[in-house]
Copies of this chain bind each other. A is one copy, B any other.
Amino acid sequence: MEKLLKHGGNIYELIEKYGFEKEKIIDFSSNVNVFFDFEKIKNMIISSIENIFFYPDSQYKKTREKIAEKFSVSYKNVILGNGSIELIYLIPKALKLKKSIIFIPTFSEYERSIKLNGGKILFLKTKEEDNFEIRIDEILKYKSFFDSIFLCNPNNPTGFYIEKEKIIEILKKNRDEIFLIDEAFIDFTEKESLVSEIKKYKNLLILRTFTKIFPIPGLRIGYLIGDKNLTKIISKYMYPWNINSLAENIAQKLIDFELKEIKKRIKEEKEYIYRNLKILQGVKVFNGEANFFLIKIERDINFKFFIEKLKLKGILVRDCSNIKGLGRNFIRICVRKRNENEKFLNELKCLLYQQ
């Protein structure tokens, strides 16, 4: 537990360092949906609390069936993970991946997972001047190099989304290489999942999570959908009872939850934040498809000092300094509620222009 990467959502540093109360921190650093009815989720948990006294079903059949039903696949196409992160770490090991392609900047755990299992990585760098567009057809040049590609769609931290058709076009030309498409943030978009394609493409794996659109990062549950041959191999590397009973139970309840209203509210707030950021001199904002914004601070400031000053105001943003493929002075902020977004915008202006 000593060597983990730094991520967003680390409110514990603020609590320990500055003595903040958990509730007083406005956490823009973790991309969790704050528009959900928290009371409703609490009540769901409380009504199923007896489940903690039982081992979960080691096959998780009911939950897998519920997920399978939603996507019109078989439960044998579905594997549950202790957060989708568990599956990210399992796949290179189980499928013995040796040479992977990753477009950067992206979620840093793909790299750590592949390397931990002895795999090599070809990093394809997307460009700031192209709004970090991922040109997936680039991989065709490296056909002999790779056995797998890890793709976050929409991408974290840039928000860039690759249209489904573009991925399918490439899939048609690469039938043997594993395509792991991480759709952690797709529920925030109006885009359609690639799950519908798993029957056609036996090398396609779709990763999804309950942690982002549903605000339960503390409960830990994600899932993988793919061809039965692949899910069977991956299953062999799993240990029993990897999902806790409460996460399993709430997943069954949330899978069919109607997200329309929530999406609308996020969209409104995104527009509000974008409108207010793009007029600021020395602030470059990347308008992606997810529930967060990547922002570059182009003013001549002490960046670390700037992050620290926000923290002192109880505002936690994702310092992107440690994300491979990004230059300096990038932050990522999650879309939160109006009064919180206002507070962030005010503090930002204050720190950038009134020093």
Contact = CB atoms under 8 A, between A and B. Distances in A.
A218 B51 contact: yes
Interface string A51-90: 1111111111110100000000000100110110110110
A46 interface: yes
A65 to B, nearest CB: 11
Given A38-B53, A55-B218, 20 more contacts: A1-B59, A1-B60, A3-B232, A4-B59, A4-B240, A5-B240, A7-B55, A9-B55, A10-B55, A32-B53, A45-B52, A54-B218, A82-B242, A82-B244, A83-B242, A109-B239, A219-B244, A219-B246, A220-B243, A244-B244
Nearest to A60: B1
A148 interface: no
Given A4-B240, A59-B4, A52 B245 contact: no
Contacts of A12: 57, 59, 61-62
Given A53-B216, A218-B53, A4 B58 contact: yes
A237 interface: yes
Contacts of A54: 9, 11, 22, 27, 30, 217-218
Interface residues of A, number: 67
A217 B55 contact: yes
A151 interface: no
A255 interface: no
Given A12-B57, A38-B53, A46-B49, A3 B236 contact: yes
Contacts of A83: 239, 241-242
A33 to B, nearest CB: 10
A238 interface: yes
A344 to B, nearest CB: 19
Nearest to A36: B53
B53 A217 contact: yes
26 contacts: A1-B79, A2-B59, A2-B76, A3-B232, A4-B235, A5-B240, A9-B55, A10-B58, A12-B59, A30-B54, A52-B217, A52-B219, A53-B215, A54-B217, A55-B218, A83-B242, A85-B240, A85-B241, A86-B239, A86-B242, A109-B239, A109-B240, A116-B236, A218-B244, A218-B246, A220-B243
A135 to B, nearest CB: 30
Interface in A1-55: 1-5, 7, 9-12, 16, 22, 27, 30, 32, 38, 41-42, 45-46, 49-55
A247 interface: yes
A113 interface: yes
Contact of A56 (B22, B59, B60, B218): B218
A240 B247 CA distance: 17
Q: Which 7 A-B pairs have the closest CB atoms?
A: A218-B245, A9-B55, A52-B218, A12-B57, A55-B217, A89-B239, A220-B244
